[in-house]
Structure formats: C-alpha cells, structure tokens
C-alpha cells in the first residue's frame, strides 16, 4: 500500500516536471543556448589568448636577442639612427603588449635611455614597464629603477614615492633592502630626519640578516640621533644667551 502511494507520488512529480518543461521549453532552450555559447566563447578566448601569449613570447625573445646584438652600438654615436629605430620598435611593442613581454620591452628601452643619460625618458619608460608588468616580478624592479631615474633629476620626493610603491608591491625583489635604505637616505637629504630614522629602522627590522645594509642603517641612525641631539643643545644654548 505504501509502495503504491510512493509510486503515485513519483508519477505525479514526473508529470509536474514534464508540464513545467513543456510550459517553459522556450526559456529553457534559450538558457541552454546561452550556456553553450558562453562555454564555446570561453574555449575560443583561451585558445586565442594562448596563441597571442606564445606569439608575444617569441617576439620578445627576438627583441632581447637584438638588444644584445646592438649593445655595443648603444655607446657609439654613429649607431644612433639604428638605435633610435630599435627604441621605437621596443616602445611600440611595449604599448601593444601586456604582461611580461610588454614590460620587458619597455625596460629595455629604458636601459638605452639610461646609457644615454636621458633620465626623464628613462623614468617614463620604467614607470610604464611597472604598470604593464604589474602582475609580474618586473613590477617592483621597474619602480625601483624609475626611482633611480627620478633621483638623477633631483626629484627626491618623487623618488621616495616610487621606492615606497616598489616596497609595497606584492612581488618581492632582491633590491628591497637597498630601496628601503634609499628611502631613509633621500629623506635625510630632504632634512626629514624622523622619517629617515624610521626608514633606516625598517632595514634593521626586515633585513637583519644582511650585514652590510644592517650596519649602514645602524650607522645612519646613530649619526642622525647625534645630529638631532646636538641641534637641540645648540638651541638651548641660544635661548640661554638670549635670556
């Protein structure tokens, strides 16, 4: 009796499902088509992206090889025309290509600008390389190099900002202790002694195992603390004399 009742319920449920499908068959068919189109589109996108990535990888390898071949001419004024054409090629490729290949192309263009001591263009190219390669290890390295170019132009505050961007990047980079020390050094040059000491202390905290940077940072902290104390003493003497 119980089994008969269960079977009737199953049949009733089946009828309801069938009725629902019949009543909404157009909508169900349309939804199925959309899902199929999206799935097919995803496959096409993956295929195209994979091919483009392979093409970009091959092209950047060719540009790297060409960069090495032209390296000597970068120091020779007679090769300026050829190098200018190569820079244009690198810049164009970097603008059209995302990720590592585009970032690498911009970085190579920046390196040529560094050789020419064109620090403004070097900073611009390294900054672009950092933006294009933000999701690669080239991101923080490019920001660090852009900071060096900014410092060469005596733009110390901009250099500090670029260094701090490099240090806060999600990718670690080998020049990180150098970058942190440079934040302290540049703040020291600007007369921001408290900020400089704080930056040097970050070197002690985060890279205590790297002796050279540890010793340099500690020596600067001691020198600045003495300088600050001496200036306070001189101010007290001046106040006493005036009184």
Q: If 0-12 CB within 10 Å is exposed, 13-18 middle and 19+ buried, where does residue 146 land?
A: buried
According to DSSP, residue 77 is labeled G
Task: Determine the Cα–Cα distance for residues 115 and 87; give it in Å rounded to an integer.
Answer: 12
111-138 core/surface letters (b: 16 or more CB in 10 A; e: else): bbbbeeeebebbbbbbbbbbebbbebeb
pLDDT, tens digit (0-9, with 9 covering 90-100), for 151-171: 999 999 999 999 999 999 999
Ramachandran region, residue 180 (left: φ > 0; alpha: ψ -120 to 50; beta: rest): alpha
- Categorize the per-residue pLDDT at 82 as very low, low, confident or very high, splitting at 50, 70 and 90: very high
Task: Determine the Cα–Cα distance for residues 198 and 185; give it in Å rounded to an integer.
Answer: 11
- Residue spans of the domains in the chain: they are 63-172, 174-243
Structure-block tokens of residue 220: 């600067």
pTM for this predicted structure: 0.75
In this model, does residue 52 exceed pLDDT 80? no
Share of the chain above pLDDT 90, in %: 63
Average pLDDT of every residue of the chain: 82
In this model, does residue 79 exceed pLDDT 80? no
E strands, 71-145, are none
pLDDT, tens digit (0-9, with 9 covering 90-100), for 98-127: 899 999 999 999 999 999 999 999 999 999
- Categorize the per-residue pLDDT at 80 as very low, low, confident or very high, splitting at 50, 70 and 90: confident
CATH of domain 63-172: 1.25.40.10
């Amino acid at each position: 009796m119980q089994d008969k009742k269960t079977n009737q319920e199953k049949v009733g449920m089946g009828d309801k499902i069938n009725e629902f499908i019949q009543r909404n068959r157009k909508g169900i068919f349309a939804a199925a088509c959309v899902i199929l189109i999206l799935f097919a589109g995803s496959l096409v996108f993956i295929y195209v992206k994979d091919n483009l990535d392979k093409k970009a990888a091959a092209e950047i390898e060719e540009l790297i090889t060409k960069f090495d071949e032209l390296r000597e001419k970068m120091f020779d004024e007679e090769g300026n025309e050829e190098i200018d054409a190569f820079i244009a090629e690198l810049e164009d490729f970097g603008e059209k290509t995302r990720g590592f290949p585009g970032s690498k192309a911009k970085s190579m263009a920046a390196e040529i600008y560094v050789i020419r001591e064109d620090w403004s263009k070097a900073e611009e190219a390294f900054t672009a390389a950092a933006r294009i390669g933000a999701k690669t290890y080239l991101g923080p390295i490019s920001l660090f190099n852009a900071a060096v170019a900014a410092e060469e132009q005596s733009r110390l505050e901009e250099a500090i900002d670029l260094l701090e961007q490099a240090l806060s990047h999600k990718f670690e980079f080998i020049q990180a202790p150098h970058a942190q020390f440079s934040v302290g050094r540049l703040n020291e040059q600007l007369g921001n002694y408290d900020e400089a000491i704080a930056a040097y202390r970050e070197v002690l905290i985060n890279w205590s195992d790297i002796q050279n940077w540890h010793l340099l940072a500690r020596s600067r902290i001691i020198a600045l603390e003495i300088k600050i104390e001496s200036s306070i003493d001189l101010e007290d003497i001046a106040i006493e004399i005036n009184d």
